[in-house]
Structure 1
Amino acid sequence: MTTTSSVIERQSASLSDAGSDDALFARLLEAALELRPLVAKRARQTEQDRRVSSDVTDLLRDAGLYRVVQPRRFGGYELSLEALRRLAFELGQGCASTGWCYGLSAAASWVVGMFPEQAQIDVWGESQDALIASCIAPTGKATPTEGGFRLKGRWSFGSNSDNAQWLSLGAMVEQPEGAPPRPIFLLVPQGEYKIVDTWFTVGLAGTGSKDILIDEEVFVPAHRTVAFSEVLEQEAPGADVHGSALYRVPFLSGFPPLLANPAVAALRGAIDEFVESIAARSTRGAFTGGGASIAQFGHVQSAVAQAEAAVDAAQLILQRDLQQITEWVDGGLKLSKEQRITLRRGHAYAVHLCVDAINGLYDVVGGTGIQLDSGIQRAWRDINAVAHHISVNWHAVSTMYGQMRLGLPPRGQY
């Protein structure tokens, strides 16, 4: 049996020598697959700790997994967002919280690649292994000053912030003459913010998505900022630094699939555990009588079929959309409002499929499904938690799409 340490040794020896992106991805996928049993074994402990441990983070980092969409110029592999989605999907089958944190922190490197060149030097100049976490909602206040901004505020949902060396924080910049505030992202290094332990949740409990506090203003130089409008409209300054069109993918076309992805991964893991456990189980009595094979019940069979179909459909949606974006952007296309909103519909619908499927599966799991060591109940909680994220919430996103199709002004972020 191959050990985790041997995987990492092979990774460090071979990644830099990979002859092609396909070979590089194959090596990263091998690492993710071999780390998944450890991630799964730690899943309950990760929930109890309410964060992904530093040693698991180190294993992911040492395997090169965080560099998948990091710019090549700064030690990354500059692969596709679909490659990242697939790697996070494999890890998330073992533990949705770990898959969530890995996917979002790796994606944050893609976003840093959109910042001005000097910001990227600041982040990766001393260590190309620097990890980034983010709080997207612009709940902070950035006040213009000479050479940059004075930043202050409090942010929620700082997933994986315990393991990060930098944070990307959203903030509003007041505009003159009554114009609406302008949202921006700002990069802030560890030591200039506080992590407030507020994360006590029923789902995604191991993501450590704690509050971030800057109660006394800190200075952020102008080069460590990028406007929301720039990353949404394919006009990010960092795109001119790199040869890859990856950094011209609109933020809200590339990031939400990685929010949806853990739900699909968790459902995949839950199905596998369910099928394995059901095969050996029989009824114990009560109204059905004892000794009947649970696998023989039609409603159990239907729940499995629905869940399998949901995984297939959700994966196909996310794969298709990420591959389509790549083709469009590689061809120099600037995505229209209609294209971006249609993509947003797919992200949310993938999660919607998973919610219906895991609810159906949990309905037939029986009494053993309430045990906290059951991965099925954990997936049930985690998938429903993913669906509460506004970016992939079906009620929020479907209405935006419906408004567009019905000729109404679409309300929402796209």
Structure 2
Amino acid sequence: MTLTSSVLERRAAPPSVLPADDDSQFARLMNAATELRTVVAQRARQTEVDRRVSAEITQIMKEAGLYRVVQPRRFGGYELSLENLRQLAFEIGRGCTSTGWCYGLSAAASWVLGMFPEQAQQDVWGCAPDALLASCIAPTGKAVPTDGGYLLKGRWSFGSNSDNAQWLSLGAMVEQAEGATPRPIFLLVPQGEYRIVDTWHTVGLAGTGSKDIAIDTEVFVPAHRCVAFAEVLDQQAPGAELHESALYRVPFLSGFPPLLANPAVAALRGAIDEFVASIAARSTRGAFAGGGASIAQFGHVQSAVAHAEAAVDAAQLILQRDLQLATGLVAGGAKLSAEQRITLRRGHAYTVRLCVEAINGLYDVVGGTGIQLDNGVQRAWRDINAVAHHISVNWQAVSTMYGQMRLGLPPRGQY
């Protein structure tokens, strides 16, 4: 498909001449995201067919500076807020859930890199401030301690946007002394030291290219390219002290899951807009009561639209509140308690539950055209239900942890 949007005709100004204050910087990025939304919406079906976000769209986002939103200033980024990133990813995700998912998670990987030791950040961004990251956070690899670092080997699933990345952040378990529990860590690995395995054939989030990653023969990862999972969970990341912003002290599981939930909310917003613009005005066909009437005249259709609109409003408010609360507490010097972190996790998962219920109701009234693969409502239906299968925002997985805490039981889960 040929891209005709004016977003292709401009190039972002170099960082030295960009607006200095955060508000104008965010406004510029939002304008770019809004223009890009139209482009990615036109390409949404092709993105699914390709099973990845194109290099072309990725380059547009790079040149607009969108990936730098939570990248540290000292390494060429804008060091804005996680809520700013959520809003930008929401705008893009309204047009294409897969593109919004990949953008949000790769941009968030820059936030996590800001928690790594200084030399790791220098390795990635020192010569290439636009270097793009992807991640596989589940610690399914094995890291063996060796002189100066670790020997890493393994296979990982769900490497979203790995086709477009120059570096990967991979989770692995480190064997401890005999009898001790293995310790999870994140390790940074450059392109060329891992293999992308084309395993991504899915019913939802089909365009995210979340393929498997394999390292078949051990590769050496220096110790400075590693950070312990416990450090990024517990506000003790070594890189946090390098930067002025409290952003890099926000606990990983208070900042990352909202960006997993956000694409579901964006997809629902896009589905409502398409439904109202192109489907509700259609007349029904067939021999049944009310045949020939406008779909918009049916009460159950009106109720489904109201339900979906309310779900978007509620979900956005929850995600915004939770991100701002976590960031505000950290900026004030607080260390988030277990109760606060688990409560935040509840909100992350509940927003996705709201979206699942709403999109299922909207899809129920979309009519026969809803089975077409180029129909945006059915795409959102598949994508939102796919988001709900992610363990970090799955209501059944996360809600039990909160319930255990409130009932005085030891909470079982990650927070």
- Fold match by TM threshold 0.5: yes
Match of 1:281 in 2: 282
Match of 2:148 in 1: 147
* Structure 2 CA distance for aligned equivalents of residues 34 and 354 of structure 1: 25
* Structure 1 CA distance for aligned equivalents of residues 91 and 178 of structure 2: 51
Match of 2:214 in 1: 213
1:91 aligns with 2:92: yes
* Structure 1 CA distance for aligned equivalents of residues 207 and 280 of structure 2: 30
**Residues 139, 170 of structure 2: 8 Å contact kept:** yes
The Cα offsets for residues 76-120 of structure 1, whole Å up to 9 and x where unpaired, read as 000000000000000000000000000000000000000000000
* Structure 2 CA distance for aligned equivalents of residues 24 and 319 of structure 1: 19
Match of 2:361 in 1: 360
* Structure 2 CA distance for aligned equivalents of residues 170 and 153 of structure 1: 10
**Aligned Cα root-mean-square deviation (Å):** 1.1
The Cα offsets for residues 236-264 of structure 1, whole Å up to 9 and x where unpaired, read as 00001111110000000000000000000
Q: Which ranges in structure 1 are unaligned for 5 or more consecutive residues?
A: none
Amino acid at match of 1:50: R
Match of 2:37 in 1: 36
Match of 1:315 in 2: 316
Compared CA separation, residues 361 and 291, structure 1 to 2 (3 A): same
Compared CA separation, residues 396 and 2, structure 1 to 2 (3 A): closer
Query: 3-state SS of the aligned residue for 1:258?
Result: helix
**Residues 98, 206 of structure 2: 8 Å contact kept:** yes
1:5 aligns with 2:2: no
* Structure 2 CA distance for aligned equivalents of residues 190 and 257 of structure 1: 28
* Structure 1 CA distance for aligned equivalents of residues 193 and 20 of structure 2: 41
**Residues 51, 207 of structure 1: 8 Å contact kept:** yes
**Residues 5, 39 of structure 2: 8 Å contact kept:** no
Q: Which ranges in structure 2 are unaligned for 5 or more consecutive residues?
A: none
Amino acid at match of 1:378: R
**Residues 15, 24 of structure 1: 8 Å contact kept:** no
* Structure 1 CA distance for aligned equivalents of residues 133 and 248 of structure 2: 16
Match of 1:338 in 2: 339
* Structure 1 CA distance for aligned equivalents of residues 259 and 17 of structure 2: 26
1:329 aligns with 2:330: yes
Query: 3-state SS of the aligned residue for 1:372?
Result: coil
**Residues 114, 236 of structure 1: 8 Å contact kept:** yes
Query: 3-state SS of the aligned residue for 1:179?
Result: coil
Amino acid at match of 2:29: L
Query: 3-state SS of the aligned residue for 1:220?
Result: strand
Query: 3-state SS of the aligned residue for 2:141?
Result: strand
* Structure 1 CA distance for aligned equivalents of residues 178 and 388 of structure 2: 39
Match of 1:261 in 2: 262
**Residues 15, 76 of structure 2: 8 Å contact kept:** no
The Cα offsets for residues 252-290 of structure 1, whole Å up to 9 and x where unpaired, read as 000000000000000000000001123420111221353
- Identity level (%): 81
Offset at residue 338 of structure 1 (A): 0.2
* Structure 2 CA distance for aligned equivalents of residues 209 and 124 of structure 1: 24
Match of 1:118 in 2: 119
Amino acid at match of 1:382: D
Match of 2:129 in 1: 128
* Structure 2 CA distance for aligned equivalents of residues 351 and 168 of structure 1: 25
**Residues 15, 27 of structure 1: 8 Å contact kept:** no
Match of 1:237 in 2: 238
**Residues 362, 369 of structure 1: 8 Å contact kept:** yes
TM-score (norm 2): 0.98
Offset at residue 217 of structure 1 (A): 0.1
Compared CA separation, residues 289 and 2, structure 1 to 2 (3 A): closer
**Residues 142, 172 of structure 1: 8 Å contact kept:** yes
The Cα offsets for residues 284-319 of structure 1, whole Å up to 9 and x where unpaired, read as 122135321110100000000000000000000000
Match of 1:180 in 2: 181
**Residues 108, 133 of structure 1: 8 Å contact kept:** yes
**Residues 307, 357 of structure 1: 8 Å contact kept:** yes
TM-score (norm 1): 0.98
The total of aligned residue pairs comes to: 412
The Cα offsets for residues 7-46 of structure 1, whole Å up to 9 and x where unpaired, read as x33x326874313100000000000001111100110000
Match of 2:403 in 1: 402
Offset at residue 327 of structure 1 (A): 0.8
